[in-house]
């Protein structure tokens, strides 16, 4: 297959559209790039929210990655069923998920589970359910370092929470978790300054904890945009996610990063309703619809402008209809791959220009069995 057209299928006529194609050699290249940037696997804890797929977990484990991060109980269960030794649920468990988390620890004793907390009320509830089940639950304190989505601001309150956890016999304090997803400046130098400035708060908190005689915290920091900068820190665990499959959203924002697209949408022209308009079968149900246009980067359509989308349709203005026919196959990289993967039951695996197998998106839903 021509390297320029690496994404194309030799015989696409029998493949349903829309479909999400994945390319194992490119995924493996991204995994190796990730490991190389991190200086090995010791301080690497990739997030599986992007792919939710057992086969991609296996690819990572074959490369020596054994610590993982996830967002749902289903993703945690998937990791445990893949024999992942170390699983962090990076979503504070509340409501029914408290009991589900305990069930995970009982059903998969060979995996070490941990989770996040950011307030004393939830901490007390986790401790109570641990005591009831005569187990110890490992926790990290989730820090709000500027995204204002979850976490506790690095402060005396955070120190008090850390101390409370360290003194509770049913909890095991592990460290600090700091997700800086708000840092997205496309200029690498400016992004590094923002990342380093934000991380100073985490380092200051760590020093305060040590000065207070509390256990030394493991620090887990960052996502894909800040990954290159956290890789320069020796004593920090890095947790990229999107980097495994990459997308045109991050690719356009951060062209200096060496990750490559490893997932491509196969789509077809549904209709040419009038001159200058094409309609593709890429509606809200097929790609993440929360981004502004363009929502995909066409690899086979050079000068189209995406102007509308509904449940089943993507409408594109185009200025040369003579070479394009209804039913014609096209390829596009999603702007946001993580929620796009969740639209599909399975990923179609492409090897040597052919669909060779399917990989189930096993943790697509909120529940597998627990």
Q: What confidence tier does 350 reach under pLDDT thresholds 50, 70, 90?
A: very high
Stretch 313-325: mean pLDDT, rounded?
Answer: 84
pLDDT of 1 reads 45
Task: Give percent of the chain above pLDDT 70.
Answer: 98
- pLDDT above 60 for 44: yes
Give the distance from CA 26 to its chain's centroid: 17
The residue behind tokens 């074959």 is 62
Cβ burial 111-124 (10 Å sphere, 16+ → b, else e): bebbbbbbeeebbe
pLDDT of 50 reads 97
- pLDDT above 80 for 320: no
**What is the rounded CA–CA span in Å between residue 18 and residue 7?**
15
Cis omega (within 30 of 0) on the bond before 117? no
Q: Look at the pTM and tell me if it is higher than 0.85.
A: yes
pLDDT of 7 reads 98
pLDDT of 252 reads 96
Q: What confidence tier does 85 reach under pLDDT thresholds 50, 70, 90?
A: very high
Q: What confidence tier does 354 reach under pLDDT thresholds 50, 70, 90?
A: very high
The residue behind tokens 């301080």 is 43
pLDDT of 80 reads 98
pLDDT of 319 reads 84
Provide the H-helix boundaries in 39-155: 54-62, 73-81, 96-107, 120-132
pLDDT of 2 reads 55
pLDDT of 303 reads 83
Q: Which of 125, 128, 96, 130 is nearest to 113 (CA)?
A: 130
Domains of the chain, first to last: 3-20+262-360 (2.40.37.20), 24-253 (3.20.20.10)
pLDDT of 322 reads 67
**What is the rounded CA–CA span in Å between residue 232 and residue 195?**
12
Max alpha carbon distance in the chain (Å)? 74
115-145 pLDDT, tens per residue?
999 999 999 999 999 999 999 999 999 999 9
pLDDT of 75 reads 98
Q: What confidence tier does 3 reach under pLDDT thresholds 50, 70, 90?
A: confident
Average pLDDT along the chain: 96
Per the structure block, which two tokens stand in for 149?
């989505």
């Amino acid at each position: 297959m021509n390297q320029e057209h690496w994404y194309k299928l030799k015989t696409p006529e029998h493949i349903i559209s829309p479909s999400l194609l994945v390319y194992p050699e490119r995924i493996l290249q991204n995994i190796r790039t990730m490991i190389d940037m991190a200086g090995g696997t010791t301080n690497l804890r990739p997030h599986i929210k992007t792919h939710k797929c057992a086969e991609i977990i296996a690819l990572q484990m074959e490369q020596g990655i054994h610590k993982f991060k996830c967002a749902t109980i289903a993703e945690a269960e998937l990791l445990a069923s893949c024999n992942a030794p170390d699983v962090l649920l990076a979503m504070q468990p509340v409501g029914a998920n408290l009991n589900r988390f305990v069930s995970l620890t009982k059903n998969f004793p060979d995996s070490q589970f941990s989770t996040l907390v950011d307030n004393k009320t939830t901490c007390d509830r986790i401790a109570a359910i641990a005591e009831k089940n005569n187990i110890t639950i490992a926790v990290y304190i989730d820090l709000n370092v500027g995204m204002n989505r979850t976490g506790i601001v690095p402060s005396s309150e955070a120190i008090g929470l850390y101390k409370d956890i360290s003194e509770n016999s049913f909890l095991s304090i592990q460290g600090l978790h700091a997700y800086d997803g708000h840092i997205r400046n496309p200029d690498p130098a400016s992004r590094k300054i923002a990342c380093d400035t934000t991380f100073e708060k985490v380092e200051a908190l760590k020093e305060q904890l040590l000065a207070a005689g509390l256990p030394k915290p493991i620090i887990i920091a960052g996502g894909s945009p800040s990954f290159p900068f956290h890789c320069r820190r020796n004593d920090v665990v890095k947790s990229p996610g999107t980097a495994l499959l990459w997308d045109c959203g991050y690719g356009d924002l951060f062209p200096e990063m060496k990750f490559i697209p490893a997932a491509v949408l196969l789509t077809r022209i549904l209709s040419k309703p009038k001159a200058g308009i094409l309609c593709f079968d890429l509606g809200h149900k097929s790609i993440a619809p929360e981004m502004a246009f363009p929502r995909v980067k066409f690899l086979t359509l050079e000068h189209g402008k995406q102007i509308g989308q509904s449940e089943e349709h993507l409408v594109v203005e185009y200025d040369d209809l003579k070479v394009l026919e209804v039913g014609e196959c096209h390829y596009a990289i999603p702007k946001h791959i993580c929620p796009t993967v969740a639209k599909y039951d399975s990923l179609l695996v492409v090897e040597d220009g052919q669909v060779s197998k399917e990989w189930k998106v096993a943790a697509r839903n909120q529940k597998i069995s627990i």
